[in-house]
Amino acid sequence: MFVSKMCKFRICSLLLLLLFVNFENVNSADCTEKSFKTGTVCVCDVNNCDEIPALDITMGQAALYTSSHTGARLHRDVIYATDTEPFGTLHLTIDSSKTYQTIQGFGSTFSDAAGANLKSLPDKLADTVLRQYFSDSGLNLQFGRVPIASNEFSSSVYSYNDVSEDYEMQNFNLTKEDFQWKIPYIKTAQKYNSNLKLFGVPWSAPGWLKSSKQMNGPGTLLGKAGDDHHKAYAQYIVRFLEEYKKSGISFWGLSTQNSPTTGNEKKIKVQSMYFTAETQRDFIKSDLGPALQNSDVGKDVKVLIMDDNRGNLPKWADTVLKDKAAAEFVAGIGVHSYQDSESDGHLDNTHKNHPNVFILGTEGSDGKNVEYGGWDRAEDYTADILDDLNNWVVGWTDRNLVLDSKGGPSWISDYTDAPIIAFPAMAQFYKQPMFYAIAHFSHFIKPGAVRIDHSLNVIELEVESSAFLNPDGSKVIIMLNKGSLVSTSHTVVVQDSADSRNHYQFTLPHRSITTLYIQTMQF
């Protein structure tokens, strides 16, 4: 822009205020839009797919990325810092001297359904999906969730050992699903992020180890802590880690059980197994913890407890972690997104009680069935992630990488939406607004970033926000304007308490998500 070439920063501050946003369109590989009654998607094929525009800014500049219900998808503008008198309806102040949790990153799930859909696409297009998710030029995902055997997004119910009373797990074997739908795509993802953190999650023990004698439906692990059944299940989990290691895949973490409370629901049909906080505590300290500790592959794996809705906290964490023998094996607490309307201190109190144990978002999704271009789901994702991050959560994980047009496959027809929807017959996939909602966080907040203090000058019920300091000193502010009550946009002024001379000003449109990325100033 000619202004930045013709004048020095201080001299032209007034002119830059009038031109505080550089409206030059710098989007690269723009979205190929397709509109539905429910909204707009971006279409990708073997030759074309939109990309996130590069930052391409210098000191004293900020990049503003905007996505909105009107179709903007990470549209990039450049904003210049100015020291003129700020004006705006919303004043947001950040204070990097007051920090909170360290962010570990964002992720998604290598379910059988995701692998089946990737397999259905041309190889080049499947590679594009994984590059868009895991490369640093894409979503920059840091976590990969891997189901241990089958779950609701499998084509059938299966375990790795259906031989009754095989307590030594001599008949343990991975299945075709692992070799066709999981391992190949995990390896491709690792090509784009060599530091990808994988964590395994069991939905159920093999049926012969359960009270119900079947994997799907309710039931508990037979016996009690320390007996043959519990030790066999611990060995089953360790064998999973060992067999994946033979394929060159190591795991960073391990959840003890997905949604342990649902295993007590009589009408539950999916694979599940019931643990209470007490029985999970005893299983960890007597069986799983020692089994991992005695395994070369498992000894450094981080164990996550609970992996269920936040309403179970802080009681669940207190029960497990106040037992020193169990706590020595536990690194983190897994939490799902399905009770995020409950903001009664569940996460905050858990952090206060156990400040040295991280809280990780291990499953999030929105909506039954697929809604093409549904902007409300992007808003829900954004609000969910903001709420988690503002309450000590260190990262967030989506439920599926890619699903088909029904929201599956699923052996139980438990269809849901996903950020990417595959259309193999057309050799295309659609990027839903949810994909861009995740990008507003994961592309800009780097691993090792810390959440920093921020405040708004007025209480604006329709606006949600959070702020972060990256390891390189850059600062990230994310804002959501739901605008569900009235069609309201806001002029936002961002002020850094460490730099009273400069501020950044931009428009937060009606029903939009914005990410402001500020390059560190040097004086």
Q: CATH code at 311?
A: 3.20.20.80
Domain span at residue 500 reads 2-52+59-101+450-518
Q: Strand, coil or helix: what is 29?
A: coil
**Residues in contact with 14: Cβ distance below 8 Å, sequence separation at least 6, in sequence order:** 82, 84
Per-residue confidence (pLDDT) for residue 85, from 0 to 100: 78
- Residue 437's nearest CA partner among 382, 371, 497 is 382
Q: What is the pLDDT of residues 155-182, one digit of tens each?
A: 999 999 999 999 999 999 999 999 999 9
Domain end call among 405, 421, 442: 442
- Helix H, strand E, coil C: the string for 450-514 is EEEEEEECCCCCCEEEEEEECCCCCEEEEEEECCCCCCCCEEEEEEECCEEEEEEEEEECCCEEE
Task: Indicate whether 28 pLDDT > 60.
Answer: no
- Are 51 and 32 in contact, with CB atoms under 8 Å apart? no
Q: Please state the separation of Cα 183 from the chain's center in Å.
A: 20
Provide the percentage of residues in the chain whose pLDDT is more than 90. 86
Residues 430 and 481 placed together within one structural domain of the fold: no
Q: Please state the separation of Cα 327 from the chain's center in Å.
A: 25
**Residues in contact with 132: Cβ distance below 8 Å, sequence separation at least 6, in sequence order:** 44, 49, 138, 139, 420, 431, 435
The structure tokens 């840091």 sit at 142
Per-residue confidence (pLDDT) for residue 86, from 0 to 100: 79
Residues 109 and 85 placed together within one structural domain of the fold: no
Residues 261 and 366 placed together within one structural domain of the fold: yes
- Residue 435's nearest CA partner among 35, 154, 44 is 44
Per-residue confidence (pLDDT) for residue 461, from 0 to 100: 72
* CA distance linking residue 197 with residue 190, whole number of Å: 9
Q: Strand, coil or helix: what is 220?
A: strand
> Total domain count for the chain?
2
Place 485 in a pLDDT band, splitting at 50, 70 and 90. Answer: low
* CA distance linking residue 140 with residue 144, whole number of Å: 12
Residues 354 and 416 placed together within one structural domain of the fold: yes
Domain end call among 409, 442, 475: 442
Mean predicted confidence (pLDDT) in 268-283: 98
Domain end call among 442, 459, 491: 442
Place 59 in a pLDDT band, splitting at 50, 70 and 90. Answer: confident
Residues 475 and 406 placed together within one structural domain of the fold: no
Place 483 in a pLDDT band, splitting at 50, 70 and 90. Answer: confident
With respect to residue 151, please indicate whether it lies within any of the assigned structural domains. Answer: yes
With respect to residue 523, please indicate whether it lies within any of the assigned structural domains. Answer: no
- Helix H segments across 153-253? 176-177, 183-192, 228-246
* CA distance linking residue 116 with residue 137, whole number of Å: 25
Residues 115 and 167 placed together within one structural domain of the fold: yes
With respect to residue 121, please indicate whether it lies within any of the assigned structural domains. Answer: yes
Q: What is the pLDDT of residues 193-233, one digit of tens each?
A: 999 999 999 999 999 999 999 999 999 999 999 999 999 99
Q: What is the pLDDT of residues 120-132, one digit of tens each?
A: 999 999 999 999 9
With respect to residue 474, please indicate whether it lies within any of the assigned structural domains. Answer: yes
Inter-helix orientation angle 112-120/183-192, to 10°: 80
Per-residue confidence (pLDDT) for residue 89, from 0 to 100: 82
With respect to residue 435, please indicate whether it lies within any of the assigned structural domains. Answer: yes
Measured CA distances, 103 to 172, 226, 298, 322 (Å): 36, 36, 24, 25
**Choosing from 152, 177, 363, 379, which is the catalytic residue?**
363
C-beta atoms surrounding 18 within 10 Å: 10
With respect to residue 230, please indicate whether it lies within any of the assigned structural domains. Answer: yes
Q: CATH code at 31?
A: 2.60.40.1180
Residues 80 and 221 placed together within one structural domain of the fold: no
Query: Residue 32 phi/psi, 5° resolution?
Result: -90, 105
Mean predicted confidence (pLDDT) in 271-292: 98
With respect to residue 258, please indicate whether it lies within any of the assigned structural domains. Answer: yes
C-beta atoms surrounding 498 within 10 Å: 11
Residue 519: strand pairing partners? none
With respect to residue 297, please indicate whether it lies within any of the assigned structural domains. Answer: yes
Q: What is the pLDDT of residues 412-460, one digit of tens each?
A: 999 999 999 999 999 999 999 999 999 999 999 999 999 999 999 988 7
Per-residue confidence (pLDDT) for residue 13, from 0 to 100: 38
* CA distance linking residue 450 with residue 71, whole number of Å: 31
* CA distance linking residue 183 with residue 144, whole number of Å: 12
Residues 366 and 413 placed together within one structural domain of the fold: yes
Q: What is the pLDDT of residues 342-356, one digit of tens each?
A: 767 999 999 999 999
Rounded to a whole number of angstroms, the distance between the first and last alpha carbons of the chain is: 22
Mean predicted confidence (pLDDT) in 323-334: 98
- Are 512 and 68 in contact, with CB atoms under 8 Å apart? yes
Task: Indicate whether 14 pLDDT > 60.
Answer: no
Residues 90 and 138 placed together within one structural domain of the fold: no
* CA distance linking residue 74 with residue 52, whole number of Å: 7
Per-residue confidence (pLDDT) for residue 232, from 0 to 100: 98
Q: What is the pLDDT of residues 69-101, one digit of tens each?
A: 999 999 999 999 988 877 888 999 999 999 999
Mean predicted lDDT score pLDDT of the chain: 92
Task: Indicate whether 314 pLDDT > 70.
Answer: yes
Residues 122 and 166 placed together within one structural domain of the fold: yes
Per-residue confidence (pLDDT) for residue 49, from 0 to 100: 97
Mean predicted confidence (pLDDT) in 499-513: 91
Residues 413 and 465 placed together within one structural domain of the fold: no
Residues 491 and 418 placed together within one structural domain of the fold: no
pTM over 0.85: yes
C-beta atoms surrounding 158 within 10 Å: 17
Query: Residue 47 phi/psi, 5° resolution?
Result: -110, -25
Q: Is position 363 annotated as part of the catalytic site?
A: yes
